[in-house]
Amino acid sequence: MKELTIQLPGRTIVNVAVLLALLAAVITSSLSASAAPSPAPTITKIPGQQDGLNNKQQERLSQLETALQKARRGKGEAEADALYQLGQFHYSIGEMSKAEGYFRQSMTVEDKLHRQEQSLQVRIALAHLMMAQKRTEDALVLYKDALAVASRNKNTEQIASVLDNMASCFLLSGDLDQAEKLLVESLESSSSPTVKASALINLAAVAAARRNNQLALERSQKAIELSSGSEELRTIGLAYRQKGRAYANIGDYENAIGAYRQAAKNFEEDVETLLQAQVLLSIGQLQLASRQAQEAKVELKKAIEIARGENDWHLLIECMIALGAAEADTANFDAARNLHAEASKMAQSNNNKRCQYLAASEEGFDYLLEGKVEKALDRFLEANSLISNVNNSNVKEHAEILRDLGLCYRSLGQMEAATKYYLESAALFESVGDIENQALLTNSVAVVYLDMGKRSDFEREFDLARSLAAQSKNRGVIACLAFNRAQFDFMEKKFDAALQSYTEAVEAARAAKDTKTECMSLNGLGFTCLAMKNARQAERYFSEAAKLADAQGLFEARWDVALGLGKTLRALGQNEQAEVQLKKAVSLVEKERTFLSRDTFKTFSLDLRQECFLELIDLYASMSKADLALELAEKGRARAFLDLLAGRVNRSSADTVAVVIEGSDEKKSPISSSALVAMTDNTQDSVVRGVKIVPRASTLVESSAYSPVNAAPPSLAEIVELVKHHNSHVVEYCMLKDKLLIWVISPTGEINLAPPVVISSLELKKKIRDTHNSIAQAAKLPKDLADQDKTREILLKDLYSILIQPVQSILPESPDSVVTFVPHGALFSVPFAALMSSKGKYLIEERTVSYLPAIGVLRATEKIASESDRPTENTLLAFGNPITKVIAFLGTLPFAEKEVKKVAALFGE
């Protein structure tokens, strides 16, 4: 619809009839996040804002009130005009109640004067105000009244324009059929090219609402052709903007940006600065979706300058959110967070709930890109809480927040929670007909199953995602699906197929200008070539990926590159260069840990990143750097437990807290995680980047100890001092893929690395599992007891020969001498005390045995032991059959209570 501008004596008329800017945005926002945000009226203050008027506004208000006082002493025409202008002023500063009062007074005077055109105008102005407040039924009453006035005037152009505005009410209320009927009537009843163009623009909005984007394009183009010969630059600009939205809805961002630029040009020439800024915002958003963050900054800064100049806080907030996204996408994380924090404060002060949750969501994405996953999770949870309490919130924006929550939980190893949020997000995208994002979220569910090793579930969900994506020509979607197909083929050791899929992913990602997926796919090609013993080609792929990862500041990709190059350079015999890359990978892990404060998240992070530690340990061992290998082995183990102990020493809370995840009645223990294979999630970023259905009224609880302290790993010097103070021989193990490393640190501080025990980790794990079963499982029949005992003895002797025999000569011979074992991985399941020598003696008979999860733990335990408030005698704190709210669902353990009482009796109780 066009803005009907009628010049009347004594008045300056603006924003009288047409609501295209309001309603086209409302309609298209439910279809595509790429549509421009709902533009506010031409105001300088958000409705409800309590700030005082500035000097210029106060001066203008005084002038208008003085003019009204004078007018009331004269003729009625002057009074009606003065009342109308006061209504305009209060509308412009967001004082809707006062504006409505003045408009109604003006209408009463006009009806007495019988000035038909002015009476028409004030009714349309009142209806416009009500539309801005989403009072569509009240607005419709006034439009019908205005139509009656226009009909009495027998002015076909006025009739057509009022029909346009009546259609806007039906559009906002969702009655597309009635809206279309009125718009067609307006189109046919007018001979004015401008009015016809306005009707076509809104008919295009109707087509877009019905997801008929091709028809929307055709109607927009006709509107452009009809209005191009006129001087109505604003109408031409609105037609181009609607055309841009139609292109954006079908994923043709290049043509969408071109149409938006043409709209911006027309708005600038017509001095419609706010409409120009709104279109610049849309251009910036589309450039972000196209991975053109630097270009987006230019457009968004222009839009911010205009919004500030016009004091349009709503538009300013949206532009700042988008600019923050652009800063984060170019790795300027501090600038991004500052912009989003400022936007959040402004949104809160203006009670703008939508911008509050958008700002929180985008700040979460800032943290996510920087690798601060737990902080990102907190912001996404806040955004989800905010949007869940907004009536009629944007479904796509809610779906995007749920998607990002799923990504966070997956990154933190919480696979069930990740699946839950991904499925909820996919359902929301499906509800608004967004097949592309539905396909991507279904793909994400498949990735989680792949992470968990559920291959059949992966293939089922992946095939569904592929069938959904078949309807799309979006190269970004194709790239994501090709990448995950390659990941699956790599897991299955189908390396030729993986190379083909990774290559397809790279090509599609480049076409879509999706740098993130391109980088991940290049890393995938590198790892595949490495697995195929083609180290030279792997080095080329990793080097290419490194440039993209560093330029974009992608934490996950940078870690993959460092690990991949380290392994590749080792394969090429370039050990010094390999050491540099592997140390870089380890330092990235250490940086990631500083952002985590929950025990399960820290444990998962370290488990996920173990390979870089093991690779560097193996390198140091091969270079005869036993000391450095030991120091690194300590850095890579038991750190979450050490953090908890350090928190205990510092009196930080280490209580168990419940991480509340909406959507399930069950309370579950932390989820065990398999090694992640997919390098990162593959959901497409939103248009701002990669942002009301009521959720199920229930909760899923993930128990996790709060662990805010990140204890430093022990240095080599500290390791030696801790062992000296402990006065024990310490035997530390490290399981590598093809060998077992064993260090012995004596009470004097001497460090010895035994010759590597050549055994694969798979074979060693099987021996440990068989030994455990021989002890834990009873014989089915009495006659089987002897065979079982014999088998158990063989297995215990076998493990003794692997774990003890290589360092037997270094260990003390006295049975009273303490030997402390520090297992690694599956070795924690080994019953060291029961291991049997070739002479048939148990280890506990030869040595006094103790255990540690890591040498570094001694630091915290010794500090705790030295606390002044501890009792002088040894004490025992033991629990049996505890019942708390967190674990009540597990039931009682009465025999545990009996056992703990027997243990307590040993201490005199």
Nearest Cα to Cα of residue 477 among 486, 466, 488? 466
Query: Using alpha carbons only, how large is the chain's radius of gyration in Å?
Result: 35
Q: Please answer whether residues 847 and 817 qualify as being in contact, where contact means their C-beta atoms are separated by less than 8 angstroms.
A: yes
The SS3 assignment for 887 reads: coil
Q: What are the residues whose beta carbons fall under 8 Å from the beta carbon of 29, sequence distance 6 or more?
A: 35, 37, 38, 394
The Cα 640–Cα 749 span in angstroms is 26
The Cα 538–Cα 524 span in angstroms is 9
Average pLDDT over residues 87-92: 84
Burial (CB count within 10 angstroms: exposed 0-12, middle 13-18, buried 19+), residue 868: exposed
Band of pLDDT at residue 860, cut at 50, 70 and 90: low
Q: Please answer whether residues 555 and 588 qualify as being in contact, where contact means their C-beta atoms are separated by less than 8 angstroms.
A: yes
pLDDT at 320: 94
- pLDDT greater than 80 at residue 383: yes
Q: Please answer whether residues 838 and 716 qualify as being in contact, where contact means their C-beta atoms are separated by less than 8 angstroms.
A: no
Q: Please answer whether residues 756 and 741 qualify as being in contact, where contact means their C-beta atoms are separated by less than 8 angstroms.
A: yes
pLDDT at 677: 28
Q: What are the residues whose beta carbons fall under 8 Å from the beta carbon of 826, sequence distance 6 or more?
A: 735, 761, 764, 765, 768, 769
DSSP for residue 680: S
Band of pLDDT at residue 329, cut at 50, 70 and 90: confident
What are the C-alpha distances in Å from 633 to residues 629, 673, 751, 862? 6, 21, 14, 21
Average pLDDT over residues 450-470: 85
pLDDT at 781: 76
Q: Which of 747-761, 836-850, 857-871 has the lowest mean pLDDT?
A: 857-871
pLDDT at 224: 93
Task: Render 461-487 in DSSP notation, one character per residue.
Answer: HHHHHHHHHTT---HHHHHHHHHHHHH
Specify the residue for token string 């703990």. Answer: 900
Q: Please answer whether residues 35 and 204 qualify as being in contact, where contact means their C-beta atoms are separated by less than 8 angstroms.
A: no
Residues across the chain: 909
Helix and strand numbers, DSSP H then E, in the chain: 38, 8
The Cα 881–Cα 101 span in angstroms is 70
Q: Which helix (H) or strand (E) holds 665?
A: none
pLDDT at 530: 93
Residue 343's identity, in one-letter code, is A
pLDDT digits (tens, 9 = 90+) for 201-215: 888 988 888 888 899
pLDDT at 265: 95
- pLDDT greater than 70 at residue 736: yes
pLDDT at 675: 27
Q: Which of 34-48, 424-438, 467-481, 866-880 has the lowest mean pLDDT?
A: 34-48
Q: What are the residues whose beta carbons fall under 8 Å from the beta carbon of 127, sequence distance 6 or more?
A: 138, 139, 140, 142, 143, 146, 165
Average pLDDT over residues 173-183: 79
Average pLDDT over residues 237-245: 94
Which of 406-420, 599-613, 617-631, 892-906 is modeled with the greatest confidence? 617-631
- pLDDT averaged over the chain? 79
pLDDT at 649: 37
- pLDDT greater than 90 at residue 709: no
CA atoms within 13 A on the CB side of 693: 19
What pairs with residue 557 in β-bridges? none
Average pLDDT over residues 12-25: 31
- pLDDT greater than 50 at residue 34: no
Average pLDDT over residues 735-749: 94
Q: Which of 216-225, 823-832, 873-882 has the lowest mean pLDDT?
A: 873-882
Q: Please answer whether residues 625 and 662 qualify as being in contact, where contact means their C-beta atoms are separated by less than 8 angstroms.
A: no
Average pLDDT over residues 578-583: 94
Nearest Cα to Cα of residue 470 among 462, 290, 449, 215? 462
- pLDDT greater than 80 at residue 555: no
Give percent helix, percent strand, percent coil of the chain, each to the nearest 5.
65, 5, 30
666-705 burial by CB neighbour count: b if 16+ within 10 A, else e? ebeebbebeebebbbbbbbbbbbbbbeeeeeeeebbbbbb
| Token pair for 835 | 């291991």
Q: Helices marked H in 20-155 — which ranges?
A: 20-29, 55-71, 76-92, 96-113, 116-132, 136-153
| 645 or 694: which leads in pLDDT | 645
The Cα 447–Cα 449 span in angstroms is 5
pLDDT digits (tens, 9 = 90+) for 643-693: 433 433 333 333 322 233 333 333 333 333 322 222 223 333 323 322 222
- pLDDT greater than 80 at residue 818: yes
Q: Please answer whether residues 215 and 206 qualify as being in contact, where contact means their C-beta atoms are separated by less than 8 angstroms.
A: no
pLDDT digits (tens, 9 = 90+) for 874-901: 677 788 887 665 555 566 788 888 888 8
304-338 burial by CB neighbour count: b if 16+ within 10 A, else e? bebbeebbbbbbbbbbbbbbbbbbbbbbbbebbbe
Q: What are the residues whose beta carbons fall under 8 Å from the beta carbon of 730, sequence distance 6 or more?
A: 723, 743, 744, 745, 819, 820, 822, 852, 855
pLDDT at 230: 78
The Cα 502–Cα 484 span in angstroms is 9
Average pLDDT over residues 332-355: 88
pLDDT at 321: 92
- pLDDT greater than 90 at residue 452: no
pLDDT at 793: 93
The Cα 896–Cα 859 span in angstroms is 31
Average pLDDT over residues 202-230: 88
The Cα 889–Cα 892 span in angstroms is 9
- pLDDT greater than 60 at residue 123: yes
Average pLDDT over residues 709-715: 65
pLDDT at 683: 31
Band of pLDDT at residue 304, cut at 50, 70 and 90: very high
Residue 214's identity, in one-letter code, is Q
Q: Which residue ranges form the domains of the chain, and what is each CATH number?
A: 1-32+56-211 (1.25.40.10), 394-688+698-705 (1.25.40.10), 725-870 (3.30.420), 872-909 (no CATH)
Band of pLDDT at residue 178, cut at 50, 70 and 90: confident
Band of pLDDT at residue 371, cut at 50, 70 and 90: confident
Q: Please answer whether residues 539 and 565 qualify as being in contact, where contact means their C-beta atoms are separated by less than 8 angstroms.
A: yes
Q: Please answer whether residues 731 and 822 qualify as being in contact, where contact means their C-beta atoms are separated by less than 8 angstroms.
A: yes
Band of pLDDT at residue 440, cut at 50, 70 and 90: confident
Strand-by-strand arrangement of the 729-735 sheet = 751-753, 740-745, 729-735, 818-822, 848-851
What pairs with residue 660 in β-bridges? 701
Residue 46's identity, in one-letter code, is I
| Angle at alpha carbon of residue 464, lines to 461 and 468, rounded to 5° | 140
Nearest Cα to Cα of residue 660 among 884, 405, 441? 405
| 794 or 174: which leads in pLDDT | 794
Task: Read off φ and ψ for residue 430, nearest 5 degrees.
Answer: -65, -35
pLDDT digits (tens, 9 = 90+) for 758-810: 999 999 999 999 998 888 877 777 777 888 889 999 999 999 999 999 999 99
The Cα 95–Cα 38 span in angstroms is 19
Q: Which of 177-191, 331-345, 357-371, 603-617 has the lowest mean pLDDT?
A: 603-617
- pLDDT greater than 60 at residue 7: no
Nearest Cα to Cα of residue 236 among 259, 257, 253? 259
pLDDT digits (tens, 9 = 90+) for 250-274: 878 889 999 999 999 999 998 889 9
Band of pLDDT at residue 52, cut at 50, 70 and 90: low
DSSP for residue 755: P
